Amino acid sequence: MKKRLHKWRLVSLFSILALVLAGCGEPYLSALRPAGEVAQKQYDLMILSTLIMVLVIIVVVVIFVYVLIRFRRKKGDENKIPKQIEGNHKLELIWTVIPILLLLVLAVPTIAATFDLADTKAMEKKDKDGKTKDALVINVRANLYWWEFEYPDLGVVTSQDLVVPTDEKVYFNLTASDVKHSFWIPSAGGKMDTNTDGENQFWLEFDSKKAAEVKDVFYGKCAELCGPSHALMDFKVNTKSRADFDQWAADMKAVKKPAAEGEVARQGEEVFNKSCIGCHAVTPNDSRPEQARQAPNLATFGERERIAGVLDHNEENLKNWIKNPEEYKPGNTMTGTYNVTDEQVDALAAYLMGLKVEEK
């Protein structure tokens, strides 16, 4: 028995050790490493609630352990009948009132933060051209396993990599085009659903110092079951200082038509224009209505962090992806909509990898 207990202790020791080693998660992904005002507020609330709850747990566990040790039936007690106690009004009052007080301590900041995080009034202040006055607004549209980010006031559309300025509130309109998804950047703040029924609005803020620690890339995820590839519906967040962001926006607006460089890439362009352009746009100023934008905008494809949101960004993966998307993202809407030979795939890959806006 002793020996068995010993082994148990080892196992639990190892699991605790593992927990410590894992730390609080990766800084680009963990809600425990807040990298912005919203995440920080939520983190503070988590800590407050955890502290209150630990207090409750300690009280319960102390009574629990005491009772189990003190009142176990001992030898010779077999015929002892304990006193039958009906109850105790004073005690019962205590454990009704104290929890209520503890909950009040939690309820007040909860309500305050609820209203604070839902404050999107800045989105409504428009100038005479109908543009938002002094706030950056991004329309997020979730689709079966990819994300579209539209900057309505800048006239720019991009996909998969969200680009945001640091140290200011960024406002989001959230919607979905097919089934319900949920937009989540754990380091920057909690999620909000993208419904098929209408738009949701919320804001996030990205801290420049924390962003620097992760080389300006945060991970985003879909948090609502949306089909087979729900697990693979990742996106990335690129953070830039306000000046860099303005430069990026100007570059994006300036892109007219991508110029394919080199023979292979030019062939790829031809293939692309025949087989792919029906769904994929290659310029960021896509003025078509959103129903027509059936696939990710590829204007910045060469600069992306990932292929299809999850694969490492290299030509090999790109080719594999084009050849058999079903293998990498089951249930995606691209499979079977085109026919290309292996050479054409090579050409396409060369062309797509050359689609860049910044690194000319």
Partner 1 sequence: MSTYAKKKGFGATVWDYLTTVDHKKIAILYLIAGGLFFIVGGLEAMFIRIQLAVPDNDFVSAGLFNELITMHGTTMIFLAAMPLIFAFMNAVVPLQIGARDVAFPFLNAVGFWLFFFGGVFLNLSWFMGGAPDSGWTNYASLAMKSAGHGVDFYILGLQISGLGTLIAGINFLTTIINMRAPGMTYMRMPLFTWSTFVASALILFAFPPLTVGLVLAMFDRMFGSNFFDVAAGGNTIIWEHMFWIFGHPEVYILILPAFGVFSEVFATFSRKRLFGYSSMVFATVLIGFLGFMVWAHHMFTVGLGPIANAIFAVATMAIAVPTGIKIFNWLFTMWGGSVRFTTPMLWAVAFIPSFVAGGVTGIMLAAAPADYQYHDTYFVVAHFHYVIVGGVIFGLLAATHFYWPKMFGTLLNETLGKITFWLFLTGFHLTFFIQHFLGLMGMPRRVFTFLPGQGFETGNLISSIGALFMAVGILIMLYNIIVTSVRNVRVGNDPWEDGRTLEWAIPSPPPFYNFKQLPLVRGLDPYWVEKMEGKDEMTPAEPIGDIHMPNSTILPFVISLGLFVSAFGALYNVDNKDWTLPVMIIGLLITFGAMFIRSVKDDHGFHIHKEDLVNDDDKEVKA
What is the distance between the alpha carbons of residues 276 and 76, in angstroms, rounded to a whole number?
A: 86
What is the distance between the alpha carbons of residues 289 and 171, in angstroms, rounded to a whole number?
A: 21
Q: Which is nearer to partner 1, 279 or 310 (CB)?
A: 310
Is the dihedral angle over the CA atoms 177, 181, 182, 186 positive or is it negative? Answer: negative
Region of residue 266 (left: phi > 0; alpha: psi -120 to 50; beta: else): alpha
Q: Residues 55 to 94: which contact partner 1 by CB under 8 A?
A: 56-57, 60-61, 63-64, 67-68, 71-73, 77, 80-88, 91-92
Tell the smallest beta-carbon distance from residue 178 to partner 1 (Å).
7
Q: Which is nearer to partner 1, 205 or 269 (CB)?
A: 205
Tell the smallest beta-carbon distance from residue 219 to partner 1 (Å).
7
What is the distance between the alpha carbons of residues 308 and 218, in angstroms, rounded to a whole number?
A: 16
Q: Residues 280 to 339: which contact partner 1 by CB under 8 A?
A: 310, 330-331
Nearest to 55 by CA among 47, 67, 66: 47
| Residues binding partner 1: number (CB under 8 A) | 95
Q: Which is nearer to partner 1, 98 or 254 (CB)?
A: 98
Pairing of strands 200-205, 217-222: unpaired
Nearest to 166 by CA among 223, 221, 218: 218
CB atoms within 10 A of CB 227: 16
What is the distance between the alpha carbons of residues 206 and 169, in angstroms, rounded to a whole number?
A: 8
Does 231 help bind partner 1 (rule: CB under 8 A)?
yes
**What's the CA angle centered on 226, arms 223 and 229, to 5 degrees?**
95
Tell the smallest beta-carbon distance from residue 31 to partner 1 (Å).
4
Does 229 help bind partner 1 (rule: CB under 8 A)?
yes
Does 105 help bind partner 1 (rule: CB under 8 A)?
no
Q: Which is nearer to partner 1, 192 or 295 (CB)?
A: 192
Q: Which is nearer to partner 1, 46 or 254 (CB)?
A: 46
Does 255 help bind partner 1 (rule: CB under 8 A)?
no
Does 263 help bind partner 1 (rule: CB under 8 A)?
no
Give the bridge partners for 141, in sequence order: 148, 175
What is the distance between the alpha carbons of residues 33 and 40, in angstroms, rounded to a whole number?
A: 8
Q: Residues 114 to 133: which contact partner 1 by CB under 8 A?
A: 114-118
Does 22 help bind partner 1 (rule: CB under 8 A)?
yes
Q: Residues 168 to 227: which contact partner 1 by CB under 8 A?
A: 174, 176, 178-180, 182, 184, 186-187, 189-193, 195-197, 200-201, 219, 221-227
Q: Which is nearer to partner 1, 141 or 350 (CB)?
A: 141
Q: Which is nearer to partner 1, 219 or 351 (CB)?
A: 219
Tell the smallest beta-carbon distance from residue 279 to partner 1 (Å).
19
Q: Which is nearer to partner 1, 138 or 260 (CB)?
A: 138
* Residue type at position 196: T
CB atoms within 10 A of CB 266: 15
Is the dihedral angle over the CA atoms 330, 269, 315, 235 positive or is it negative? Answer: negative
Does 8 help bind partner 1 (rule: CB under 8 A)?
yes
Which of 122, 228, 340, 356 touches partner 1 by CB under 8 A?
228
> Do residues 182 and 191 lie in contact, with contact meaning Cβ atoms separated by under 8 Å?
yes
